[in-house]
A and B are shown apart, each in its own frame.
Chain A
Amino acid sequence: MAAIELSGVRKEFGDVTALQGVDLSVEEGEVFGFLGPNGAGKSTTIDILLDFVRPTAGDVRVLGRNAQRDSLSIRDDIGVLPEGFHVYDRLTGRQHVEFAIESKGVDDDPDALLERTGIEPSARDRKAGGYSKGMQQRLALAMALVGEPDLIILDEPSTGLDPNGAREMRDVIREESARGATVFFSSHILEQVEAVCDRVGILRRGELVAEDTIRGLRENVSTGTVLTLVVSEVTPEAIEAVENVDGVSDVSSDRDTIRVHADNAAKTRVLDAIERTGVTVEDFATEDASLDEVFAAYTEGDR
């Protein structure tokens, strides 16, 4: 059974189409990264999973149940860190977690959950309205973990977290996954999800443009190679020669290096072209396109 199953999901807000026929399937037990630039429709999709927002068309199933009709029973079995939430300013951190525990009718230990998400004992009985954004995020994560949910939905979980906090967030995701939970989380930064995701989906302007492993994404995108050449001298003639090579998309240079974006096949031609102008290539290195570039290839331009 799929933990999340969307088929043909459309959502229109007035005359704005937020989602245009999204099909997506997240398997039980997997960690799925839901990616896309801000405004692509990620939060709308998650809001539909939670029945905050009703789809204009299409079928949505969560844990095999209908996301609209069976929302209450679904929310019994999932944990959610929503995006753009606001804490109850006057309730303490502990009271928030207790509220989640009572709401789900379980008997978790609030302190154990707060401990896991890194809220210090001294902060637990303070009003959550005084928490920093990062602490509020940790608090909401603790609420999401209540009741060992089968599926955990995290909407932009790293918001407001420093690098250390983001790493702890990933640790919690791994622990939950090891327990057997399915984790579905959204992000607008591919690098953040690479370390933990089994698969990712990329949403762009309300359409799912990719659904694959990170490795698969890299292979599918012909972002080519970056060549870094250390040369005896950077001359205008050498730069011009490189720019004229077939398959070269971008050239930049500083004192003694030339950086070239090119197809894999263009590598030798670039070297030849430089040498022909009388400049010696002293050293060169090639590297794969960064994840940023892979992501950009899916989410920018006219693909």
Chain B
Amino acid sequence: MSWTVVAKKDFRDALRSRMLWGLTVLFVLFMAGIAYAYTLFANQAPTGDPTVDSLGLVAFLSSPVSLLVPITGLVVGHKAIAGEVESGSAKLLLSLPHSRRDAVLGKVVGRTAVLSLSIVVGVLAGILVTLALYDTVDLAALAIFGVLSLVLGAVYTSIGVGISATTRDGGRATIAAASFFLVIEVIWDFVPWAVNYLLNGSFIPTGTPPVWFAFLGRIAPSSAYSYALNTYIPEAGLTGGMRLPDSILLSGGAALVILLAWLVLTPLVGYLRFNARDL
């Protein structure tokens, strides 16, 4: 269980850095700020319905959260191993009885704890605003939203640590993390279209899109997060009226499995690279 010692040390280290406090302030301002801004927005909604509803807030928040959480997760994670190897503190760590596996696992857990704490405090601040200012508050929906956001944060912290374990150069880790984000969260959006173009000669499928098309569209962690939100808080009406075929691949469970796969596989790949090379 030596990873628990590594995780604890890493968390302690973060407590004393400005990272934890900076992230917490960021998430509090972000969640509470948007929760407040949404009241102004809902009052002027063109629907003419002046009720301020927390379900609407979830829909309103989901898109910026699926951008902010991945970026902060990568920032928190991407120097975890590479930074230690580059500076030489990994020599202190690994001359103690910690396997490289426990070093990676401990870092994943320690850094995830840091980000999670910030997200939890931020979500709680948001909930306080809704309790004070909103007409209706669906606490269960907000709780689901909070939990899924934590999962997304854990996924991206793990991806960051996994990337970090593949190199001994902090600068290269930064480039790799940015490239990952660009490829998976931006460029990947075009992949289903490109495949459809190759198969059918048009970018967008006519009629109900095929299962593979919709499935490819939720491979990226933030897409899987959005679809999971949509499945578990259907009242929020996140994806509008897009008709989809019925398939287990497109279920909320499948979206969770995708998130889980990222959570486990990227640190695993990073660990295998880390374990195979000289320090």
Residues of A within 8 A of B (CB): 13, 47, 50, 52-54, 71-73, 75-76, 80, 82-88, 90-91, 95-96, 99-100, 102-104, 127, 140, 143-144
Contact = CB atoms under 8 A, between A and B. Distances in A.
Shortest 5 CB-CB distances between A and B: which pairs? A80-B95, A86-B88, A52-B279, A82-B91, A103-B96
A83 B95 CA distance: 11
6 contacts: A13-B278, A82-B92, A86-B92, A88-B89, A103-B2, A104-B96
A87 B17 CA distance: 15
Contact of B92 (A53, A54, A85): A85
A100 B96 contact: yes
Interface residues of B, number: 21
- Judged by DSSP, the binding face of B is helix
Contacts, number: 74
Interface string B84-116: 000111011011111100000000000000000
Contacts of A84: 88, 91
Contact of B97 (A88, A91, A104, A144): A104
Interface of B: 2, 5, 8-9, 12-13, 16-17, 87-89, 91-92, 94-99, 278-279
A76 B278 contact: no
A52 B91 contact: yes
Given A53-B279, A95-B9, 14 more contacts: A52-B94, A52-B278, A72-B97, A75-B94, A82-B92, A86-B87, A88-B89, A91-B9, A91-B12, A91-B16, A99-B9, A103-B97, A103-B98, A140-B92
A52 B88 CA distance: 12
Interface centre among A76, A83, A84, A90 (most CB of B within 10 A): A90
Contacts of A13: 278
B172 to A, nearest CB: 18
Contacts of B2: 103
A23 B16 CA distance: 46
B108 to A, nearest CB: 18
Contacts of B17: 90
Contacts of B91: 52, 82-86
A76 B92 CA distance: 14
Contact of A50 (B9, B12, B95, B99): B95
Nearest to A50: B95
B94 to A, nearest CB: 6
Contacts of B8: 102
Given A84-B88, A143-B92, A47 B9 contact: no
A108 to B, nearest CB: 13
A86 B89 contact: yes
A91 B98 CA distance: 19
A71 B99 CA distance: 8
A127 B88 CA distance: 17
Contact of B5 (A71, A75, A87, A103): A103
A169 B98 CA distance: 26
Contacts of A143: 92, 96
